């Protein structure tokens, strides 16, 4: 999927067991359309990694493309119930993916995905892992985009607080569970690791002017602050500001 946003975890290079994973992959690199067992996959399946420099130190984000593809196939099927699931992902393909994933995890017990992908829009819960000041307006190949970076040790308490605030405000599991799942995924990485939110292809859905004034993390943070203060009207206003900004992108996701 070309139009997607990414949440990546970069681990210190000396914490990666496989030195072969330190080959740099530019974020804007061309991707391939691969027609394989599980459909069309728009990413190279090489075992390489993204590499960044932070404070003079190298951090590595393994792509583990095959692992993410298998997890994505199963998650996509499990997201739908009844006959729809089999229409989207045939049962034979799902069973084959599950077997391959099980074998992969048996061979490499410590392997985990370092990248989450979201088609067409950034899930608003992702912003709760970042402070608004960590926002950076960047240019990649002449295209304006947005990136947030923080340390895992900073993101984890922010997400814990988000879960607590939502729980205290009476939100049900449909809202809280995805945040808890995000927290569990991030908390499995070392505190010194770097968490990055990259608008990726999603940035192309907005003009440069719209991106310049995009303060989604600030809107989400303000909504949580208001919820914590039990000012539900103000919380709704801030959340609506962020949600309306992403309404067009979300509509594309549903249309597809």
- The angle subtended at Cα 59 by Cα 57 and Cα 64, nearest 5°, is 165
What is the Cα gyration radius of the chain?
19
Q: Measured between alpha carbons, how far is 68 from 92 in angstroms, rounded to an integer? A: 19
Q: Measured between alpha carbons, how far is 207 from 157 in angstroms, rounded to an integer? A: 33
Q: Give me the pLDDT at residue 115, please.
A: 86
Residue from 197, 201, 215 nearest 1 by CA? 201
- The band of 62, judged by pLDDT with boundaries at 50, 70 and 90, is confident
User: What's the pLDDT tens digit per position in 202-214?
Assistant: 999 999 999 999 9
User: What's the pLDDT tens digit per position in 228-239?
Assistant: 999 999 999 999
Output the DSSP codes for 130-187: S-GGGEEEEEETTEEEEEEEEEHHHHHHHHHHHHHHHHHTT--HHHHHHHHHHHHHHH
| Contact residues for 44 (Cβ-Cβ < 8 A; gap 6+) | 31, 32, 34, 65
User: What's the pLDDT tens digit per position in 154-182?
Assistant: 999 999 999 999 999 999 999 999 999 99
Q: Give me the pLDDT at residue 40, please.
A: 41
Q: What is the mean pLDDT of residues 135-142?
A: 91
Q: Give me the pLDDT at residue 202, please.
A: 93
User: What's the pLDDT tens digit per position in 12-54?
Assistant: 988 766 544 444 444 444 333 333 444 444 455 556 678 899 9
Reading the block at residue 57, the tokens are 């130190």
Sorted by where each begins, the domain ranges of the chain are 4-64+112-255
CB atoms within 10 A of CB 125: 19
Q: Give me the pLDDT at residue 19, please.
A: 43
């Amino acid at each position: 999927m070309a139009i997607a946003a990414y949440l990546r975890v970069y681990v210190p290079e000396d914490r990666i067991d496989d030195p072969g994973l330190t080959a740099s992959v530019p974020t804007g690199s061309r991707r391939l359309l691969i027609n394989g067992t599980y459909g069309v996959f728009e990413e190279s399946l090489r075992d390489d990694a993204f590499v960044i420099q932070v404070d003079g130190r190298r951090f590595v984000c393994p792509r583990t493309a095959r692992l993410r593809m298998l997890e994505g196939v199963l998650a996509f099927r499990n997201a739908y119930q009844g006959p729809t699931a089999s229409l989207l992902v045939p049962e034979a393909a799902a069973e084959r993916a599950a077997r391959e994933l099980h074998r992969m995890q048996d061979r490499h017990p410590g392997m985990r995905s370092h990248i989450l992908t979201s088609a067409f829009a950034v899930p608003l819960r992702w912003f709760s892992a970042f402070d608004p000041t960590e926002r950076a307006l960047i240019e990649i190949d002449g295209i304006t985009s947005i990136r947030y970076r923080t340390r895992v040790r900073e993101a984890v308490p922010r997400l814990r607080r988000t879960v607590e605030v939502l729980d205290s405000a009476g939100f049900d599991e449909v809202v809280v569970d995805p945040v808890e799942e995000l927290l569990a995924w991030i908390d499995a990485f070392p505190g010194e690791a770097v968490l990055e939110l990259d608008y990726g292809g999603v940035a192309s859905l907005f003009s440069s002017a719209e991106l310049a004034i995009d303060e989604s993390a600030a809107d989400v943070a303000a909504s949580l602050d208001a919820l914590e203060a039990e000012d539900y009207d103000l919380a709704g206003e801030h959340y609506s500001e962020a949600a309306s900004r992403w309404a067009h992108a979300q509509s594309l996701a549903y249309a597809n």
